[in-house]
Structure 1
Amino acid sequence: MTDPAGIDIEAAGIAATIESLAAEEVDRLPFGVIRLDPAGVVTQYSRLERHLSGYRREAVGRDFFAEIAPCMDNAAFRGRIERARTAGRLDIVFDYVSDMPNGARDVELRVRVVSALDGGCWILMQRDA
């Protein structure tokens, strides 16, 4: 197996790769990882994503768009995911500027969203350095 730190956010077959990793290995990926169930509830939230996003509460079990990232519950972020899901191709990559509600500077993200095996999805977020 490849060292998780060397996995690229745009690698082919990334969903299968991530699903084969233990939680500790997902925590070592060089980008934030969030797994949502089909209802949009967080089932996994990587240590790096917690650190980079500044989200300090327990994320697992919470509705991602309502409780964790309401700033991403818009056409430019959630809308893209829903349109791709409706089209039957949930493997999208896009750039997004996250407006942080706490007054911190805006954060440029490279986002990839891919289907999870159970019908949910993986949201992968790489921050601009």
Structure 2
Amino acid sequence: MADMTTDTTIETMTLGDLQAMRPDDCNQLPFGVIGLDRSGIAQLYNATESRMAGLSPDKVIGSDFFGAVAQCMNNYLVAQRFEDEAELDTIIPYVLTLRMRPTPVRMRLLASPSAPLRYILIAR
């Protein structure tokens, strides 16, 4: 994997890049990355997202992400999209509200039937 720099954005990251990335590389990205399995259990939670959200990876990984960690995303804009759309690559403006002041962000939702994880990329 090429060295990830601050030039890497949620727009330039691909599903293939995410799948090939080592955990250390993912932790160097300048935006949050959350990887969920098909049942919504968090399998990946990078250092940037941990720092920005104030949640440690050991509290998030292995948890029902939409049910126990990020209830503010458990709606038709985010969680339901992963249920309804097998192939997903979209960027949405969003406001995070759980455990923090309302925080405007841009989120990219990525999913493919061939990918073991579904991803949420968060740029603040």
TM-score (norm 1): 0.83
CA drift at 1:77: 2.4
Secondary structure (helix, strand or coil) at the match of 2:59 reads: coil
Residues 32-84 of structure 1: CA deviation (Å, up to 9, x unaligned) = 0000000000011001101101113521110000111011111232233434x
For structure 1, which runs of at least 5 residues remain unmatched after alignment? none
Please give the alpha-carbon distance, in whole angstroms, between the structure 1 residues aligned to 2:105 and 2:83.
Answer: 19
Alignment match, 1:74: 75
CA drift at 1:29: 0.6
Alignment match, 2:101: 105
Contact 1:35 1:123 in 2 (8 A): yes
The one-letter amino acid of 1:113's match is L
Please give the alpha-carbon distance, in whole angstroms, between the structure 2 residues aligned to 1:51 and 1:16.
Answer: 25
CA drift at 1:125: 0.4
Secondary structure (helix, strand or coil) at the match of 2:39 reads: coil
CA drift at 1:18: 1.6
For structure 2, which runs of at least 5 residues remain unmatched after alignment? none
Contact 2:82 2:111 in 1 (8 A): no
CA drift at 1:98: 1.1
CA drift at 1:22: 0.7
Tell me the matched-pair count.
Answer: 120
1:1-129, aligned counterparts within 5 Å? 1-5=1-5, 6-11=7-12, 14-56=14-56, 57-83=58-84, 85=85, 88-100=86-98, 102=99, 104-115=100-111, 117-118=115-116, 120-127=117-124
Contact 1:35 1:122 in 2 (8 A): yes
Please give the alpha-carbon distance, in whole angstroms, between the structure 1 residues aligned to 2:118 and 2:77.
Answer: 17
The one-letter amino acid of 1:26's match is C
- Percent same amino acid among aligned pairs? 30
Contact 1:77 1:96 in 2 (8 A): no
Secondary structure (helix, strand or coil) at the match of 1:76 reads: coil
C-alpha RMSD of matched pairs (Å): 1.7
